[in-house]
Structure 1
């Protein structure tokens, strides 16, 4: 079993290295951070859809990883002049830096909220039906469709979300907010993959 896990880890590292070939310094660091957050979404998405057993500890761990790459930790990796080359950052990162920073902070709040909501479980387990929670929310992040850009607060509201607002929220709803925030940022600030 350890040999198989090691082989997967080596294979994943090789793919990540290939995807970031040519990147150095702060560009490489931010690409690695974005890859770590994408891994979190890919790890949690099947759980949120009920395709694998729900595990609150895994949710907390993965949300913690995302928290470590969001907010100021993210924005500091986009200094002026660090676009171009292998970078996937659009010029809008620097042209609309306040909006970019707001979305980075919104992502941190949503990730903190996801971690806080981990003990709540999925909406279906609460009798709320998880399909309506997860419908298109992760599709925009995971490859199909797109989530609407955020307004003044999460989910298009004019009121900014706070971490405490997640306390009683089903975990899949909190996860949908994380995914929508990622998607909104990618729509405005990231070059599309070809």
Structure 2
């Protein structure tokens, strides 16, 4: 199951980034411009929410539909328009890792922000439909990667397709959206 191994590595990478960023975030937000502090606070909230969902999918935390939905709603409410608006105007600022390319490639940045919101909304709805257990309908099945998620896969329109896919698949595509956005629009520290 090459897909599962790749998905596990992607999940582990995203969660490692979140864990490493937390102590730095707390110290740094005290002297940041307000918009940068808000961006970082929202990114931290999304990372924590993703960690919570990931733990339920991995079985290291028991499935709790209310916690699952709450985590999905955290991501949904801090993505889409909310995320996009935090990068209005001049994007670069002291203490920010945002790339100036957000300004020149705004349409692509906004699409990723809205894709993130669509995946999170699908996860939230999945929790409503599965109040008792993280059952087979929420899990990825063989062939799900053929509907988005691989280089040879059919391209997914999250706004149209996310609600119809298993929640686990939507979660992994959501993590890929985060990774794509960071790779394209985040300046790495040297």
TM-score by length of 1: 0.70
Equivalent residue, structure 2, for 1:166: 163
Match of residue 80, structure 2, among 71, 87, 106? 71
Q: Distance in 1 between matches of 2:161 and 2:36?
A: 33
Equivalent residue, structure 2, for 1:45: 54
Equivalent residue, structure 2, for 1:126: 136
Q: CA deviation at 1:191?
A: 2.0
Pairing 1:103-122 to 2, within 5 Å after superposition: 103-118=112-127, 119-120=129-130, 122=134
The RMSD of aligned alpha carbons is: 3.3
SS of 1:80's partner is coil
Q: Distance in 1 between matches of 2:81 and 2:142?
A: 32
Q: Distance in 2 between matches of 1:20 and 1:67?
A: 23
Q: CA deviation at 1:88?
A: 0.9
- Structure 1: 5+ residue stretches without partners: 1-12, 136-146, 150-154
Equivalent residue, structure 1, for 2:39: 30
Is the contact between residue 79 and residue 116 of structure 2 (CA under 8 Å) also seen in structure 1? yes
Which structure has the highest helix share of the two? 2
Q: CA deviation at 1:82?
A: 3.3
Equivalent residue, structure 2, for 1:139: none
Match of residue 92, structure 2, among 57, 77, 83? 83
Label 1:50 to 1:84 Cα distance change in 2 as closer, same or farther (>3 A).
same
Q: Distance in 1 between matches of 2:142 and 2:189?
A: 29
Q: CA deviation at 1:33?
A: 0.8
